[in-house]
Structure 1
Amino acid sequence: MAIDLLSTFIKPMHREGFKFVGIFAAVTLILFLIWEPLGWIGVILTVWCYYFFRDPIRVTPMREGLLVSPADGVISLIEPAVPPAELGMGDAALTRVSVFMNVFNCHVNRAPIGGTITKIAYRPGKFLNASLDKASVDNERNGLAIRLADGRQIGVVQIAGLVARRILCEVKEGATLGTGDRFGMIRFGSRVDVYLPEGVQPLVCLGQTMISGETVIADLASTEARRTGASI
């Protein structure tokens, strides 16, 4: 019981976070030397830094055709949009599902579905609020085109936000990903867009909470109509 309770609060940490937690901890020691109340503020910020870089184990549904959320957060946009030109996915508008991450969400990104990465394209840009629609066009971003076993493609785009200053992509073109595999992260508040294949309807609603690698966004084999939701 004690072990289960401990594991609820203590999670593995992404390696990207070790240096930041170390810096926060060192600054905290200095703050304690200056004035003890400042030191306790430093402790809180150090714990938050560790929590930001957490990399918890996730249980991914593995049935063929399921497409899961690439990020923790909430669904901020569901709309037709043309994928970024640099991904080479054509000029036709596809359904774009956007997951917005605040600074308290886990920021490790996971592959929404298994496939081969045919294109990775980074584009520098601005740092607007990632919840805005124009962030997809204007903000710094890194996109992946993933070819599925049946030849269809999906696009996954990491978008920097108002606070984010670095997008980390840990995979290369030609690599094969499984559903739920980690492929990168974004530091300090951001968004991930998923472009669904033509004719595929999202099974999520605006405002719905997402769990990376677990929450199903769409079912490529389903003919179910797009869902709507209500706050209760």
Structure 2
Amino acid sequence: MTIHKEGRILLLVSLLFLIILNGILFNFFAAPWTWIVLVISVVFYLLILQFFRNPYRLLTKADLQVIAPADGKVVVIEEVIETEYFNTPRRQVSIFMSPINVHINRTPIEGMVQYFKYHAGKYLVAWHPKASTENERTTLVIKSNSGTEILLRQIAGALAKRIRWYIAEGQLVSQGQEFGFIKFGSRVDLFLPLDAKILVNLGDKTKGGVTVIAELTK
């Protein structure tokens, strides 16, 4: 396991701040509560450290399979009208990422980035029905080698107010490739063709780059 690049500066700054803070407290205040502050500081730092962890993964690779773009829990499986790009019915699968999940986002299929757009927006809780269309978010469409298009949306939540991405339109991507990061918990939506066979159920836990979400017909 390594530490993701998005957290390295924050972790260094946090460590220096906590060392200085506790050094001042122990040097100028001889009180039992300074030990409480030290314990809280250690717990706080460990929580941030685990948030930015980047565990080794043996990625799933299969042409007709859609792989989970994120770690988390499946909270939505339903047919909707996708209004930003397709304007047609699609099968939506949403994964909620809690603060304890790995927050790296991965491409679900191999192909070319056909469309990418960042949207500024609100910070409703990630499970809010309007979060997918009103929150800060990115929209990414990947066209597979066989011509099937998959739309993927990173959505910020009430705590997650920093979405990062590392892709652009026209870029070729491999399945399971890291394409972004959402800081401090949120949600990722997949919009699949109606004939895709969904292989997960509500409440299932997913691993980004590993769990098979659906199978495509082509």
The alignment's TM-score, normalised by the length of structure 2, stands at: 0.92
- CA 1:13/1:84 → structure 2, altered by over 3 Å: closer, same or farther? farther
Structure that is richer in strand per residue: 2
Q: Distance in 1 between matches of 2:62 and 2:113?
A: 20
* Aligned positions of 1:141-220 closer than 5 A: 141-220=137-216
- Of the two, which has the highest radius of gyration? 2
Higher alpha-carbon deviation: 169-178 or 207-216 = 169-178
Tell me which of the two structures has the higher relative contact order, counting C-alpha pairs closer than 8 angstroms and 6 or more residues apart: 2
The answer to whether the Cα contact below 8 Å between 1:115 and 1:146 also exists between their aligned partners in 2 is yes
SS at match of 2:9: helix
SS at match of 1:144: strand
Amino acid paired to 1:26: L
Amino acid paired to 1:93: P
Match among 129, 133, 156 for residue 133 of structure 1 = 129
Q: Distance in 2 between matches of 1:40 and 1:19?
A: 22
Aligned to 2:6: 16
- CA 1:102/1:176 → structure 2, altered by over 3 Å: closer, same or farther? same
Higher alpha-carbon deviation: 108-117 or 22-31 = 22-31
1:123 to 2:119 alignment? yes
1:36 CA drift (Å): 3.1
Amino acid paired to 2:70: A
Aligned to 1:43: 42
Amino acid paired to 1:210: T
- CA 1:183/1:37 → structure 2, altered by over 3 Å: closer, same or farther? same
Q: Distance in 2 between matches of 1:194 and 1:160?
A: 15
1:31 to 2:21 alignment? yes
Q: Distance in 2 between matches of 1:145 and 1:82?
A: 16
Q: Distance in 2 between matches of 1:177 and 1:63?
A: 14
RMSD value, Cα: 1.4
1:106 to 2:135 alignment? no
Aligned residues: 209
Q: Distance in 1 between matches of 2:62 and 2:119?
A: 33
Long gaps (5+) in structure 2: 26-33
Aligned to 2:30: none
